[in-house]
Amino acid sequence: MPQRVGLEYLTPRQREILGLVAKGLTNEDIGGVLGISAATVKTHITAVLATLDVSNRTEATSLLHALEARPEHVGAVLERPAIAVLPLLALDDDARARTVARAISHDLAALFACSCWFPVIAQVSADGARTLGPTSQHIARALGARFLVDGSLRTGVAADRGAASWRLVVRVDDAETGECLWTERYDFAESELFEVQDTVCAVIVATAYPVILKRVQLGLRRTPRTRDMAAWEMAHQGMEICQRREASLSDEARSRFALALERDPTLVLAHFGLGLSAYDDVLNQWGPAEAARARLLAAATRCIELAPHIGEGYFLQARYFQTRGDHARAVPVLETAIAKNPSYAQAHALLAQTLQLTGRSEEGLARMRHALRLGPRAFVAGLALLHFMRAEYHDALDHAESAVSFAPRYTFARVVAACAAHLIGDRPRAAEHMQRLIKDYPPFAPSRLLSSFGPEVDVVRRIGDALQALGMQA
């Protein structure tokens, strides 16, 4: 604890400089941002290291990340007005246009979230937002957001070039006042898509949040971006397939990610997708556990190598520890992911479950509230598992059944539903979920669950016992 106290003794300027160090900026970069010399920056950093009693920038950054990942700090960030990126409308009845529109929406949301200065609603919640109400006010209220990023994409042919082109229209609405804050139209060739995307994101953020304009213009390190549109599209297609949570589609998703990486081995999204797919194979028993773990660890390592400044690789690393039953090691890794991106809803949800498993129940509930703030219609299965961990089986059953209503072949959500129904004595509902589980994925076995996540973990043992009591063979 004394090191955290040390952070309190930093001056505002030292805290500002440490924050920029944590973003990966050099002394020269920091000096340019703050209008001071690199030598002055070095003097401040020397003072920071002495105050914190650490020997290098990496250790100082780790202390800052630990502080920024604490629930009270994240809670303060999440109290700020939130922004939601709605799925761009593809104005052409064309599958490829729809894929590109969806992918731009997801990439814009990711770029917003990586700025780490305000909460961004999880894209899994924003994707279906247009069904939440007839006006932007209705949509924003349902998502818990104030600012909505909306727009459309149309294909065409540039008259002066004779080449395929896109027309992208984007706007920012303040749903609280009903006012359009900013709108712009971009016409560009396919080859210019990625440059335009970055520009659009920067302008939107700068317009909606003038107070962070300086941060947007820092030239911070960004995730390596592909110039291969086919690879980009294949990675997003793989992510969409993954989200359907079906065993029969696991190989197809993995194939899309592999094809994307053949074209661009540095595409972080594809490595992240491979990691998510590998974890699903372990969790749902869709493939050999050890091989899936190896893929998961490889994906986590590669994501961290390519993009150490964002949270995805650390999230996968925590998933790997989880599959080893090493929940204590997963906690600081998830805190790092959240410190790098306070809007990382998946990391909040996983940390909530992990804290519950390590005996920090109340903090786990706080983390789950953060996840639900960012993804008000997502993480239903995660919430079901959290209630199951707390032996709140009625709530666990309700949320698990909600999860399988969205994804009927989501194996693990079906498992939680069956076990929760059994433990509250509702035999018909337990039998119904068991029949569907066996029908959709007959190979699922309690013994593999125990070996994958550790029989010494109470919740794992309870699920295994319930499945065996329901007649599932070990």
> Read out DSSP for 38-49?
HHHHHHHHHHHH
User: CA-CA-CA-CA torsion for 413, 104, 223, 31, nearest 10 degrees?
Assistant: -130
Task: Identify whether residues 50 and 92 lie together within a single domain.
Answer: no
- Determine how β-strand 89-90 pairs with β-strand 147-157: parallel
Please tell me the distance from the alpha carbon of residue 191 to that of residue 222, in angstroms, as a whole number: 19
The verdict on 161 and 200 lying in the same domain is: yes
Tokens of 356: 């519950």
Do 395 and 469 share a domain, yes or no? yes
Q: How many domains does the chain have?
A: 3
C-alpha closest to that of 127 among 108, 146, 155, 114: 108
147, 44: one domain? no
Type and span of the H or E element at 394: helix 393-406
Out of 169, 191, 216, a domain closes at: 216
d(CA 166, CA 152): 10
Burial (CB count <10 Å: 0-12, 13-18, 19+), residue 328: exposed
**Domain-located, residue 294:** no
| CATH for 474 | 1.25.40.10
Residue range of the domain that includes 167: 83-216
pLDDT tens per residue, range 139-166: 999 999 888 889 999 987 554 556 678 8
> What digits encode the pLDDT tens for the residues 333-357?
999 999 888 889 899 999 998 998 8
126 part of a folded domain: yes
The whole-number pLDDT of residue 36 equals 85
Do 48 and 113 reside in the same domain of the chain?
no
Residue type, 346: Q
What is the CA angle 286-243-421, rounded to 5?
65
Among the residue ranges 14-23, 215-224, 267-276, 443-452, the one predicted with the least confidence is 215-224
Q: Is 8 within the bounds of a domain?
A: yes
> Domain ends where: 156, 191, 216?
216
Tens of pLDDT, residue by residue over 66-83, are: 777 778 777 777 877 788
pLDDT by residue (tens digit) across 209-255?
543 333 333 444 455 556 678 888 899 999 989 888 888 888 999 99
DSSP, collapsed to helix, strand or coil, labels residue 72 as helix
> Given 216, 247, 273, which residue is the final one in a domain?
216
Distance from C-alpha of 39 to C-alpha of 453, rounded to nearest angstrom: 51
